[in-house]
Amino acid sequence: MAESYLDPAGLARVGNMELVARQVVEGFITGRHRSPFHGFSAEYLDHRAYTPGDQISTIDWKVLARTDKYYVKLFEDETNLRANILLDCSRSMAFQSGELSKLGYGCYLAAALAHLLLRQNDAVGLTLFDTDIKTFIPPQAHPTQFRRVLDALDASASEGDTAVGPVLHRVAERIRRRGLVILISDLLDREEAIAQGLQHFRHDKHEVLVFHVLDPAELKFPWDRTTRFKDMEGAGRVVVNPNSLRQKYLERIGQFTANLQAACAQRKISYHLAETSQPYDACLAEFLDKRARLG
């Protein structure tokens, strides 16, 4: 029964982001690996290696008995890493061919990732943006942070135009401490500008993950009758016979995603194409499997 909540259409009807996040994390991902982001930190999830000067009372004697090594317990105010989740809220993210928009899918992804990271004692922050930063919540590991993130996601709306590249530079200037940056966006902006914005994070020694969220219709162009298309971030409208431009469109969208993937690979950035028809648990599991294979 729980698995039924993991399908995007069903979750759109449920509409409870907290329930979604908990179902995804507790019902599937945590059963696969307790700390799927362990590669970003030199410390353990619940422990770190003992160093001279640590209080003897913090040593975990059970771990010592099992491993013959000294580890001290991590407490709630100690974190493995600081993660910043960046969610695109531009008007193009409102597009949907099914029951769930790209923004809705991105919100569920952000909620699940925030819940997952907070469970493993990491600090999590959230940035909502379009042409500028709309909301900036600095990373914290406090238990109340999940509610702050959920409240911001619940209030999000697709309103402004897209300026992914320039906004990435502004966000990078706000993030002072090295950590993990997770970008969730349809990336409908100039490829060069996006690559330069991502490079800013890498220059500052951040680890970067990109979830490229696209609707199935954007990838497959399923229209077969004369259709009026409207620019979601402008005033342009055009009536065309889809059959006359399908091949060119598919070539362009294929090249677009390939260029972005290559730009990420060149900068050692993890890229994942997230199609909104794919269940959230499958999307995240596929991403984590790929990271595990690549080391």
**Contact partners, residue 282, CB within 8 Å, separation at least 6:** 6
Measured distance CA(263)–CA(265) in Å, rounded = 6
What is the mean pLDDT of the segment spanning 222-243?
A: 65
What is the mean pLDDT of the segment spanning 141-169?
A: 91
Rounded to 10 degrees, the C-alpha dihedral 147/150/155/157 comes to: 160
241 CB neighbour count, 10 Å cutoff: 12
Look at 26 and 132; give whichever has higher pLDDT.
132
Residue 38 has pLDDT above 70, yes or no: no
User: With pLDDT > 90 as the criterion, what percentage of the chain qualifies?
Assistant: 45
pLDDT range class, residue 78, cuts 50, 70, 90: very low
CATH 3.40.50.410 correct for 2-38+80-294: yes
Look at 101 and 72; give whichever has higher pLDDT.
101
Residue 192 has pLDDT above 70, yes or no: yes
The answer to whether residues 142 and 99 touch, using CB atoms and an 8 Å cutoff, is no
Considering the chain, what is the average pLDDT of its residues?
Answer: 81
Q: Domain extents for the chain?
A: 2-38+80-294
CA-based nearest residue to 178, from 206, 203, 210: 206
Residue 62 has pLDDT above 90, yes or no: no
* DSSP structure class, residue 185: E
Measured distance CA(63)–CA(71) in Å, rounded = 7
Q: Which of 46-50, 63-67, 105-109, 244-248 is predicted most confidently?
A: 105-109
Residue 86, sorted as left (phi over 0), alpha (psi -120 to 50) or beta, turns out to be: beta
Residue 96 has pLDDT above 80, yes or no: yes
pLDDT attached to residue 7: 58
**Contact partners, residue 202, CB within 8 Å, separation at least 6:** 208, 267, 268, 269
State the residue for tokens 């990420």: 264
User: With pLDDT > 70 as the criterion, what percentage of the chain qualifies?
Assistant: 71
Residue 44 has pLDDT above 50, yes or no: no
Structure tokens at 35: 């700390």
Q: Is 103 helix (H, G, I), strand (E, B) or coil?
A: helix
Residue 267 has pLDDT above 70, yes or no: yes
What is the mean pLDDT of the segment spanning 202-216?
A: 95
Residue 144 has pLDDT above 50, yes or no: yes
